[in-house]
Amino acid sequence: MLKVSALAAQFSSATASVIIQTDQVVTNNFALNPNPGSVAGCVNDYTNGADIIGAHIEIFDANNTKVTTVLTNSLGLYRVTGLVPGSYTARATASGYGAQLIGFNIQSTATACFTLSPNPASLRGTITDATNGRPLEGAIIDIRIANTFGVPLLTTKSGVDGTYAVSGLVPDNYTITARLPGYASSVDAIVLSPGQAAIVNFAMRPNPATVTGTVTDAATGKPLANALVTLSDSRSIAIAQIQTDAAGRFLLEGVRCGEYSITVVLVGKQSISTCFFLAPGQRLNLSLSMRDIPAGQGGNVSTVPIQGPPNPVPGAVVQILNKNNTLVATSVANYDGAFQFPSLAPGCYTVTVENPGFGSQSAFVRLKAGKTAKPLSFLLNAAPGALAGTVRDIRGNPLFFVIVQVLTKTKILERLVITNRLGRYGVADLSPGTYLVRFLLEGKQPLVREIAIFSGRTTILDVILLDEHEE
């Protein structure tokens, strides 16, 4: 499945997903709007305010499809034209600095300014075939920040020798996913500190499963194009995202066997989710339909400074989870700290807010049919702490892929991570306070511990998980 973009001067850009079979010719038409909107801004050094020349500014639409890339000029300024009305995310990267995201909405013009922090971490590794050790070219590596369902801060591909390298990672905890058609996806986790150079390798297994499907309008039966389809595993790890094509079709390749859920989101439609199990080599076809729904909500993200009134926190990532902790929607706060959600189905949701260097927060929201929820407001703590530890079995062996949930005292999910292959886990940027930490792994007894997080300190919590039959 390919993504195709159309660009023309004085017209808006447009993107579409296209499924191409062997020896097939596909026609895809674009309708471009005249007099489009634009976004402009600046990129500066966080420590001294200096202009950053030659920074890359990438613009992504609401379905996380890249629209265009520009560079800042000699004054650290940039401008992007050709944008249709809607929600966007801008990502700024520059050599020697950590990447940053900022959201914005286009009516006619918008502003998105960045302050990048120096001394970022970096990550590299090698992707190989698990059966013969052969290096694999073209594997896509998504590096998701904060949570297993977090947004990809950066994405890259492996080269002809199977190696990949990513710089510009701000200090935080990350979930790393590698995927390649013909191979089952592979996942690992890591916590990165300033300036750290880390290595994460992947050995991928062939004979994966494939998920295909069609998304239609429940009332008319017509196909729905550009719906965002997210595939998540049982640990709420977002494995892949894709848009439906003009015929409402989607194709997700390279899926390992196991339990999964698919969530489909489209502005103006009720989001839908379905769960299923995939066996090795299985090809599953789904038929999904979406209904209109008027419910929606919005809010503001702000922080408490040392002195004075609250200041906005641009770039804070706001994500909505359903009752099964499956990602439903993502928004990135704009330059004023504001965010918005698409139309949502009636029901109960968890809203999580995370921004590097600030304590994360979460809230419980109940939406009623035809009602608009009360706007949310978050105050993020500017002096967070962290949590780290190792999970082992009773024989001292490290346990990989353990789900680690950090809950508020009222049992609202705040953060969700997994242990890596050494049994280690880490959760950065937690607001000072008391939390419940839940550990879950198939075949093991669940475990809950209460912990305290302190500003500027890392709380260590090592645990042992007993087998289901052990006392």
Of 204, 230, 258, which closes a domain? 204
Same domain, yes or no, for 222 and 179? no
Q: Residue 174 sits in which domain range?
A: 121-204
Contact call for residues 368 and 346 (beta carbons, < 8 A): yes
Same domain, yes or no, for 128 and 154? yes
Q: Please tell me the distance from the alpha carbon of residue 195 to that of residue 425, in angstroms, as a whole number.
A: 19
Same domain, yes or no, for 269 and 307? no
Q: For position 309, what pLDDT does the model report?
A: 45
Residue that wins the pLDDT comparison between 470 and 37:
37
Q: For position 368, what pLDDT does the model report?
A: 74
Question: What residues contact 334, with CB distance under 8 A and at least 6 apart?
Answer: 102, 103, 104, 105, 110, 112, 314
Domain membership flag for residue 471: no
Same domain, yes or no, for 402 and 461? yes
Question: What residues contact 401, with CB distance under 8 A and at least 6 apart?
Answer: 187, 235, 418, 419, 441
The DSSP line for 65-97 is: -EEEEEE--TTSEEEEEEE-SEEEEEEEE-TTB
Q: For position 370, what pLDDT does the model report?
A: 60
Same domain, yes or no, for 173 and 191? yes
pTM: 0.84
Domain membership flag for residue 322: yes
Q: Please tell me the distance from the alpha carbon of residue 407 to that of residue 50, in angstroms, as a whole number.
A: 39
Domain membership flag for residue 470: no
Q: For position 308, what pLDDT does the model report?
A: 31
Domain membership flag for residue 193: yes
pLDDT at 354 over 70: yes
Counting beta carbons within 10 angstroms of the beta carbon of residue 155, is it exposed (0 to 12), middle (13 to 18) or buried (19 or more)? middle
pLDDT at 420 over 60: yes
Q: For position 299, what pLDDT does the model report?
A: 45
Same domain, yes or no, for 11 and 95? yes
Give the count of domains, the chain.
5
Q: What is the CATH number of the domain that holds 272?
A: 2.60.40.10
Q: For position 17, what pLDDT does the model report?
A: 64
Contact call for residues 312 and 140 (beta carbons, < 8 A): no
**Tally of CB atoms within 10 A around 418:** 22
Same domain, yes or no, for 139 and 174? yes
pLDDT at 465 over 80: yes
Domain membership flag for residue 323: yes
Domain membership flag for residue 317: yes
Same domain, yes or no, for 310 and 228? no
**Tally of CB atoms within 10 A around 465:** 21
- Both structure tokens of 423: 């049994």
Report residue 313's pLDDT band, with 50, 70 and 90 as the boundaries.
confident
Q: For position 300, what pLDDT does the model report?
A: 43
Q: Please tell me the distance from the alpha carbon of residue 57 to that of residue 442, in angstroms, as a whole number.
A: 42
Same domain, yes or no, for 342 and 426? no
Which pLDDT tens digit goes with each residue over 106-119?
877 888 999 999 99
Domain membership flag for residue 65: yes
Q: For position 333, what pLDDT does the model report?
A: 85
Of 381, 416, 444, which closes a domain? 381
Greatest distance between any 2 Cα atoms in the chain:
70
Domain membership flag for residue 353: yes
Same domain, yes or no, for 7 and 112? yes
Q: For position 307, what pLDDT does the model report?
A: 31
Report residue 335's pLDDT band, with 50, 70 and 90 as the boundaries.
confident
Report residue 269's pLDDT band, with 50, 70 and 90 as the boundaries.
confident
Q: Please tell me the distance from the alpha carbon of residue 202 to that of residue 208, in angstroms, as a whole number.
A: 15
How high is the mean pLDDT of the chain? 88
Of 262, 290, 318, which closes a domain? 290
Same domain, yes or no, for 108 and 8? yes
Which pLDDT tens digit goes with each residue over 54-63?
999 999 988 7
Contact call for residues 295 and 343 (beta carbons, < 8 A): yes
- Both structure tokens of 121: 């971490």
Q: For position 34, what pLDDT does the model report?
A: 63
Which pLDDT tens digit goes with each residue over 185-228?
999 999 999 999 999 999 999 989 999 999 999 999 999 998 98
Same domain, yes or no, for 18 and 94? yes
The pLDDT of 361-380, averaged and rounded, is 79
